Amino acid sequence: MKPSVILYKKLPDDLLTRLESHFNVTQLSDLSPETVKQNAEAFANAQGILGSSEKVDEALLEHAPKLRAASTVSVGYDNFDVDALTARGIALMHTPTVLTETVADTMMTLVLATARRAVEGAERVKAGEWKGSIGPDWFGIDVHHKTLGILGMGRIGLALAQRAHFGFSMPILYNARRHHKEAEERFDARYCDLDTLLAESDFVCISLPLTEETHHMIGAEQLAKMKPSAILINAGRGPVIDEKALIQALQAGTIHAAGLDVFEQEPLPVDSPLLEMPNVVALPHIGSATHETRYNMAACAVDNLIAALTGDVKENCVNPQVLK
């Protein structure tokens, strides 16, 4: 008999067919307590789960005693209690490589859009405000040759450094847990401590996962160390920034602008003060959201689940210690 799995995300037809050729698939809309209650038998039998963005913690795992693998359609896994999974011998699989270039493109989009005031300008054109040759009240600031600081030199940070170095002739500073030889050799990136990065960068770009260590890593104290002309970019996870402190810094004008793809609460509440600020570009968590990349992420997640449940994992496992 095929192993049973729960799918809690829509998949393209061909990928669903592939998943169904290996498993008995129960498709659900989410992993909420109500859904779990209504589908108790499916959870009791499930050996695998596949989806994204839902919380997977001890309370959920108690309903799924046979679970052996969880496969997320994302690189980030802060919504999983990894310790609880590991304690139960459940492999957590993610999609770290297929989205790298697309997320780096999103970060560069935010750099350009904030510096050149592209969204604001486009809105003013639509509002009929473009009535003649534009003056300084429409001008932005240059991106090329400015200093780009990267927090977190993982795959995405490296892809951003590549764009900034070769495409925009930008000096690169970075702060990470360890030195990154490739970034230094290929893109002339200079390792520095957080305070130096904040003080010297024209763009401070956050490409960090959310962990206990990175939660509110950028708060009032750190924002105060940035140049008044500097722009803060975040395409990692919202809670890495203390959003209240960011709003205060923007309101006080102690930093120039912010480009944000992620927020402390998503979707961003419509009454967020961030939405009233012309110098904030707020995107709806589009980091990896292209047709190509979302397809590739889903395909990777399907392959990851098949590998995990057939005992053939070669990559993409967050807690490989559970694999025997």
Annotated catalytic residues are 237, 266, 285
Q: What angle do CA 54, 296, 66 make, to 5 degrees?
A: 45
Tell me, rounded to whole angstroms, the distance of Cα 238 from its chain centroid: 9
Of the candidates 222, 95, 109, which has an alpha carbon nearest to the alpha carbon of residue 160? 109
Burial class (CB in 10 A: 0-12, 13-18, 19+), 232: buried
Closest distance between ligand 8YV and the C-beta of residue 293, in Å?
8
Q: Is 52 in the site for ligand 8YV (CB under 6 A)?
A: yes
- Report the relative pairing of strands 24-27 and 4-7 from DSSP bridges: parallel
Closer by beta carbon to ligand 8YV, 230 or else 302: 302
Contact by Cβ (8 Å): 90, 67? yes
Least CB distance from residue 75 to ligand 8YV, whole Å?
4
Give the interface size with ligand 8YV as a residue count (CB under 6 A). 10
Instruction: For ligand 8YV, give the closer residue by CB, 312 or 315.
Output: 315
CA-wise closest residue to 95 among 296, 310, 314: 296
Stretch of residues binding ligand 8YV (CB under 6 A), selected from 23-31, 70-78, 184-192, 267-275: 70-78
201 torsion bin: left (phi>0), alpha (psi -120 to 50), beta (else): beta
Shortest distance (Å) from residue 18 CB to ligand 8YV: 18
Binding residue (CB under 6 A) for ligand 8YV from 76, 152, 238, 259: 76
Select the residue interacting with ligand 8YV from 42, 67, 75, 226 (CB under 6 A).
75
Shortest distance, position 171 Cβ to ligand 8YV, whole Å: 28
Helix, strand, or coil (residue 158):
helix
Interface with ligand 8YV in residues 88-147 (CB under 6 A): 99
Which of 6, 46, 49, 73 lies at the binding interface for ligand 8YV (CB under 6 A)? Answer: 73
From residue 12 to residue 41, the character string flagging contacts with ligand 8YV as x (rule: CB under 6 A) and all else as - is ------------------------------
Per-residue mark of binding to ligand 8YV, 266-305 (x: CB under 6 A): -------------------x-xx-----------------
Look at residues 64, 92, 91, 66 and name the one whose alpha carbon lies nearest to residue 77.
Answer: 92
Q: Which is nearer to ligand 8YV, 259 or 287 (CB)?
A: 287
